[in-house]
Structure 1
Amino acid sequence: MNAIILDTETHDLKGLPIEIAYVPFQLVNGEAAIFADQAFDEYYSINTKITYGAMAIHHILESDIANKPFYTTFKLPGDVQYIIGHNVDYDIEAITKCGVNTKSIKAICTLALARKVWPHEAHNISALTYMLLEGSDIARKKLRSAHNAKQDVLLTGFILKSIIRALNIQTIEELYRASEDARIPTIINFGKYKGTEIKFLPPDYKRWLTNQPDIDPYLRKALEK
């Protein structure tokens, strides 16, 4: 199984992982499969306190992670080539802090793909679940445990299946390429030209942005088109 859907909960914004969950995923000839019976979900201890702001989001308490494995003990399955997540860069950054080498991993972002497929909807996991289930009681029941990492990977998988159908994607590599394309922005979202389509930015401003050392690689691709 070379692909997983991954989610992490952290002790603070961009903090250390205190819960990591993943579920194996397969996409062959347009048929997506999520292996919920093989889901992994574990709490991890850290060497600092969970912030109250983080607790308010995921409701993980200090007592939940007491005596749990230290976060640096987390390892990915050895055959993983693709990691799928909603705002996947956040989760990859979190497991990198565990000492996991993610340099060869191909990241697939369901957030970017959802923005492409449903440009006029809200794009967080809860809103997309309500949209796909038409605001039903079933959606509300599914979301009772939202921001639990295991529940979030299963909900992400549910959203992902709809994305795959909408884009008629056949293979995991095709899904990766669609994600890479979806992550290239079309509108600048900061600075004096915020809200402007990138293709309409003044050439001198585009050159200046391209030369910035910390520029987002996907923004660079958009500027160089």
Structure 2
Amino acid sequence: MKAIILDTETHSLNGLPVEIAYVPFQLENGNASMFADQCFDEFYSVGEPISYGAMAVHHIIESDIADKPSYKTFELPGDVEYIIGHNVDYDIAAIQRCGIDTANIKAICTLALARKAWPSAEAHNLSALLYMLMNGSDLARQKLRNAHNAKHDVLMTGFILKSIVRELSIQSIEDLYAVSEVARIPTTITFGKHKGLPISSLPADYKAWLLGKSDIDPYLRKALEAA
């Protein structure tokens, strides 16, 4: 399992994982494969109540995790080099709370890749992308009945990822990572008094102020340094 597509559902926003799922993914010579028969999916107890807001998103309730193992027992397969996910940083942060060391993991973000592949798409969340790619079909609607279930989300991400690979003519997992890294660098500022302004047009003093912040997003830092 050199690469996996991973998804987590958490007990609150930025909380502990109550469900983790992953599926092996392979990309060689432009041929993308997802091994659904090897999909891992497990519920976990977290020792804290699931928030009602989180329940409204993933529909996991207390009885689903009552007798499940602790989230601290989760382990990644030992040979994983790449973790792929839609807004992947959220899921990597979730498994870090399990005690997983991700220092040597290379993260690939399908959200950033989708924005690069289809910049004019109305929305880039998983559900909207699936409807777009399947032309608003009834089959797409059926597939989305279990949206925000971690297992279904990794399989849906895999389907969308295959379309991204074709759209961007990506040949290998190494190339996929490289394209993702570039795609994650923002071109416009998304917050504050200059929201919506191209980063290249930001006032010099504002760029300097942002670069002086210790908690700045690393990809925003790259964009500011390039500008």
TM-score normalized by structure 1?
Answer: 0.99
State the distance in 2 between where 1:79 and 1:212 align: 35
Partner SS, residue 181 of structure 2:
helix
State the distance in 2 between where 1:105 and 1:198 align: 28
| Residue 120 of structure 1: how far off its partner (Å) | 2.1
Partner SS, residue 69 of structure 1:
coil
Residue 211 of structure 1 corresponds to 212
State the distance in 1 between where 2:101 and 2:205 align: 38
State the distance in 2 between where 1:205 and 1:12 align: 33
State the distance in 1 between where 2:205 and 2:71 align: 46
Gaps in structure 1 of 5+ consecutive residues: none
State the distance in 1 between where 2:203 and 2:56 align: 43
Partner SS, residue 37 of structure 1:
helix
Amino acid at match of 2:82: Y
Residue 192 of structure 2 corresponds to 191
Residue 90 of structure 1 corresponds to 90
State the distance in 1 between where 2:207 and 2:55 align: 41
Residue 125 of structure 1 corresponds to 126
| Residue 213 of structure 1: how far off its partner (Å) | 1.1
Residue 76 of structure 1 corresponds to 76
CA shift digits 1:164-184 (9 cap, x unpaired): 111100010100011000000
Residue 164 of structure 1 corresponds to 165
| Residue 218 of structure 1: how far off its partner (Å) | 0.3
State the distance in 2 between where 1:89 and 1:209 align: 21
Partner SS, residue 64 of structure 1:
helix
| Residue 186 of structure 1: how far off its partner (Å) | 0.1
| Residue 78 of structure 1: how far off its partner (Å) | 0.3
CA shift digits 1:50-109 (9 cap, x unpaired): 011100110001000011011000000000000000000000000000001001000000
Residue 177 of structure 2 corresponds to 176
Which region of structure 1 is more displaced relative to structure 2, 210-219 or 199-208?
A: 199-208
Root mean square deviation of aligned Cα: 0.6
State the distance in 2 between where 1:119 and 1:85 align: 19
Partner SS, residue 142 of structure 2:
helix
Amino acid at match of 2:26: Q
Which region of structure 1 is more displaced relative to structure 2, 201-210 or 122-131?
A: 201-210
State the distance in 2 between where 1:191 and 1:62 align: 38
Partner SS, residue 190 of structure 2:
coil
Q: Name the % identity.
A: 72
Partner SS, residue 175 of structure 2:
helix
CA shift digits 1:195-222 (9 cap, x unpaired): 1000111122212211111111000000
CA shift digits 1:114-142 (9 cap, x unpaired): 11111222011000000000000010011
State the distance in 1 between where 2:30 and 2:81 align: 19
CA shift digits 1:10-42 (9 cap, x unpaired): 000000000000000000000000000000000
State the distance in 2 between where 1:212 and 1:13 align: 24
Residue 221 of structure 2 corresponds to 220
State the distance in 2 between where 1:211 and 1:116 align: 29
Structure 1 segments, 4+ long, off by >4 Å, are none
Amino acid at match of 1:150: K
Which region of structure 1 is more displaced relative to structure 2, 198-207 or 182-191?
A: 198-207
Partner SS, residue 116 of structure 2:
helix
